[in-house]
Structure 1
């Protein structure tokens, strides 16, 4: 801010010839031409000067950064800091957003006490992946009426988050149907790791019960754009079910469940079988019909919502060795 002096103080010092009513001769009086005036300019003091702001304001900083990506698709913000106190209404009138179907009535402004920082909160939204352009026009002024300097710092753009639907298949080499012998508690795999199918339930083989579970595991690193993912809107686990007549249902206790588990020993049947669950929502009930848990009416492709559990796996990917691990079982085995 610079200042201009708007007034000066002028003193006039006058020298007047002496004049007497009792002068007896012309020589006793000074001639009129002897009267002189001297002008002396005295610099004004701080209190006697009117200070006028003539410096135009500038934008000191703003947020989001120009070219930023991943801002909220709904109800996003723009924050601008000025070099000096601004005329609030002029800034709000000069603020411009550009994107399809923008509505200025949805702009809400808040200021700091000094009128140097304004935040614009947009109550609406734009298309996923869309670009928002903002600018403050020349109509914006400071408190003294000086117009905002129009440079490249009075506007910017950012991109809101994208939305994408992707398919992530389980790792074939990690999928397995595991068995536990109820007599000696030994573990084995039904068809070795990498099996395309697995059985869940229990069967009697030579009068010795054998329990069976299925394990599928997903490598989170195979998710496209994992490093730029900001929000999981939904996740569902899809599987194909076929009834097996030789798997024995257990009345009242053999209902199919799904657990989100974690173990670094993904290659050991025993470790998978006894793996702890991750701290999410507990088990997830799979569709079934009473009294048979694997009713033929559920044969075919099924899907179950795993949004909460999968979001946890994404957030704690490093601690979970980059794996999202799942166990199919029935309550009795």
Structure 2
């Protein structure tokens, strides 16, 4: 693909800016007049034709202006936009809001979702912080009736998981307590990988319990926490791109269907550093539900302590500068708050 000239880069950036504001195709004459460009409308049309040939613009109708393609938005975000920061007074206002709510993680999450939606004019999601690598702390086994047993698993950090088990054959409470005591001594403080690597001889019951414990610990270590906070759905549904119910339904699936959201967050953020921002435009060929959407996502928290995810979802015609700067700033605030909470 040929390198764009400086004027072509400028024209692409201006067309994207105009289209984000108006949702209407952009013509050469209106572009020249509004921004008082040195080039003539004919020259601008030639550059627009070259950008269309390169795959960055498309012409929805024969006589209409141009609109950006997904590739055009990607080029804009990666090559043209540069680093954009929130205004200082906006940062001060948001920071003050967070410190007003005190050390209450639930209120942090709700406020973060509200701030993201309001500032980015998009739908927002925030996952609660969770331990980055779950570790075993304590196990209790309680006989209920017949072959049914309640397994109570306590993780380092205090998270409690309960699961009702149905054993192959009845086991006395004395046998259950003995198995729990043995595993408590053997597994204390271990992560799932370390537990799986153990070579200590175990009886059949203990082997089954260890397998279940490893599954629970791995599940607890996944990026998506137990609680997902959402806000701003009306911002998405009010956009012209989602006037058709089918497009709106697909957009909402991303936020409402937990397995889909878990897959998306895990695959996009698992290898992203805390504070790093990822931009997904049009599903990136992976998620059909995102075909008409863009997402800006980030991890927050403190490595080794607790991390979570946050982001915004909107049409591909998203105000990327504002969205990215808002997501980055709120992620930084939540990271600071997580560190303070765990240092107490």
TM-score band by shorter chain is under 0.3
TM-score (norm 2): 0.23
> Which of structures 1 and 2 has the larger relative contact order (alpha carbons within 8 angstroms, sep 6+)?
2
More helix by share: 2
Structure (1/2) with the larger strand percentage: 1
